[in-house]
């Protein structure tokens, strides 16, 4: 019996080379289906006119760097056999890939990144997965952005409590099925201990947007709310942020003055081993979320946080509504205020080994990529029967 096949739409070569955390959002889904025994191919569409700005050189040189980055990431995770990157619609192995695509049960089009109509028409079924709940709807309905929503058969979102109520979140008229963000447990072994409560983050990401009198912004304003955390926490823990802020940035200087450790995220996020080691050497994760996720009450939950949990690192994460679905209190805590954040860290430190164990257990129970992929398959199968 031949293995089932799936294609996953992604962006790896087209992102900055210091983006391993974003790459993992795609790769963990691929690992999940592979663990189910499926043949998996990743597909990326890239335009020469929209190449990442990393490094020097002309378009030809930058394209070569993108292709080398794509190949190195896929080879590391073992997905190079069937996968392809289309450069302005062309690829050396296009015929081989198109045959695989025709035989696949569906395309998992993450963030709608596969846009070519000729490519999309090949697939028996097209499944959309939204990674930006709340923002996607505002971009589509409030700003008229083409989020490539049309033409898919089923729609999933990592917004665990996403509700298009036309108040906090504009209505697209689509039914969104919630899904947990996956993590490949075999790539993230448990490693208890560490010194720093840490996170890895973009400080600003993309521009803020507005809808119905609400502003949906980045993490910058949320970090300001917890700037005094190291001063208020009376334990031995240290707090570290790996971010894209320049060394001489005024924000960085202000956080350093409040006893935060501020380091550059670029070398950490440029290499999988460095990224994993940074998390593995941490004591746990403390992080805020984009204000847009919080204001939309979408239930967004971080694909980075699940890596911390898998390594047995307890997490204290700002709430977006996810606490209604993932009940916090053992290995994972939510907070809405600075005082709640301090108390959560204090509680974890009272029995760190217990909460470390519970963090890994939570990852195994809810975020294991095999389980998450299987849950999606079951819902797709139910759709087929209906």
Structural domains in the chain, CATH included, are 5-183+368-385 (3.40.50), 185-367 (3.40.50.2000)
Nearest Cα neighbor of 85 from 106, 70, 100 is 70
Banded model confidence at residue 386, pLDDT cuts 50, 70, 90: low
Q: What is the pLDDT of residue 55?
A: 57
Q: What is the pLDDT of residue 183?
A: 98
90: left (phi > 0), else alpha (psi -120 to 50), else beta? beta
Q: What is the pLDDT of residue 1?
A: 64
How many angstroms separate the first and last alpha carbons of the chain? 26
Q: What is the pLDDT of residue 53?
A: 66
Average pLDDT of 281-294? 97
* pTM given for the model: 0.96
The tokens for 33 are 């289906």
| Higher-scoring residue by pLDDT: 193, 370 | 370
**Alpha helix (H) residue ranges in 201-335:** 220-225, 229-232, 250-257, 272-280, 291-296, 305-310
Q: What is the pLDDT of residue 284?
A: 98
CB atoms under 10 Å from CB of 125, counted, come to 16
Burial of 286 (0-12, 13-18, 19+ CB in 10 A): buried
- Looking only at the bridges linking them, the beta strands covering 209-211 and 214-216 are antiparallel
50-109: pLDDT as tens digits: 777 665 678 888 888 888 999 999 999 999 988 999 999 888 888 999 999 999 999 999
358 contact partners, CB below 8 Å, separation of at least 6: 314, 330, 331, 332
pLDDT at 8 over 90: yes
pLDDT at 292 over 80: yes
Percent of the chain with pLDDT over 70: 98
pLDDT at 197 over 60: yes
Q: What is the pLDDT of residue 51?
A: 79
* Average pLDDT value over all residues in the chain: 94
How many angstroms separate the CA atoms of 304 and 166, rounded?
29
Q: What is the pLDDT of residue 164?
A: 95
Average pLDDT of 287-306? 97
pLDDT at 6 over 70: yes
331-363: pLDDT as tens digits: 999 999 999 999 999 999 999 999 999 999 999
């Amino acid at each position: 019996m031949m293995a089932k096949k799936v294609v996953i739409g992604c962006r790896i070569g087209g992102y900055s080379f210091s983006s391993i955390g974003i790459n993992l959002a795609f790769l963990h889904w691929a690992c999940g289906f592979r663990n189910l025994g499926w043949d998996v191919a990743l597909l990326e569409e890239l335009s020469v006119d929209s190449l990442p700005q990393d490094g020097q050189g002309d378009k030809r040189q930058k394209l070569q760097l993108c292709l080398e980055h794509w190949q190195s990431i896929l080879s590391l995770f073992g997905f190079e056999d069937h996968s392809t990157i289309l450069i302005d619609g062309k690829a050396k192995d296009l015929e081989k890939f198109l045959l695989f695509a025709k035989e696949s049960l569906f395309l998992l089009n993450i963030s709608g990144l596969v846009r070519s109509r000729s490519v999309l028409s090949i697939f028996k079924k097209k499944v959309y997965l939204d990674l930006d709940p709340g923002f996607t709807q505002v971009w589509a309905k409030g700003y008229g952005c083409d989020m490539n929503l049309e033409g898919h058969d089923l729609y999933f979102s990592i917004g665990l409590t996403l509700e298009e109520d036309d108040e906090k979140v504009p209505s697209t008229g689509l039914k969104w099925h919630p899904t947990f963000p996956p993590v490949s447990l075999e790539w993230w072994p448990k490693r208890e201990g560490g010194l720093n409560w840490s996170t890895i983050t973009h400080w600003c990401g993309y521009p803020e947007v507005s809808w119905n009198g609400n502003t949906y912004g980045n993490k910058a304003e949320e970090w300001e709310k917890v700037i005094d955390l190291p001063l208020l926490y009376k334990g031995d823990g240290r707090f570290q942020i790996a971010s894209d802020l320049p060394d001489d940035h005024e924000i960085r200087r202000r956080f350093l003055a409040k006893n935060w450790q501020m380091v550059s995220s670029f070398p950490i996020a440029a290499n999988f081993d460095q990224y994993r080691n940074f998390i593995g050497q941490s004591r746990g994760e403390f992080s805020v979320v984009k204000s847009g996720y919080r204001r939309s009450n979408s239930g967004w939950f971080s694909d980075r946080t699940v890596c911390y949990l898998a390594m047995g690192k307890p997490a204290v994460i700002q709430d977006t509504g996810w606490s209604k679905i993932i009940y916090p209190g053992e290995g994972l805590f939510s907070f809405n205020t600075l005082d709640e954040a301090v108390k959560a860290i204090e509680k974890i430190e009272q029995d760190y080994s217990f909460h470390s164990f519970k963090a890994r257990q939570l990852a195994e129970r809810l975020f294991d990529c095999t389980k998450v992929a299987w849950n999606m398959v079951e819902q797709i199968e139910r759709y087929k029967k209906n």
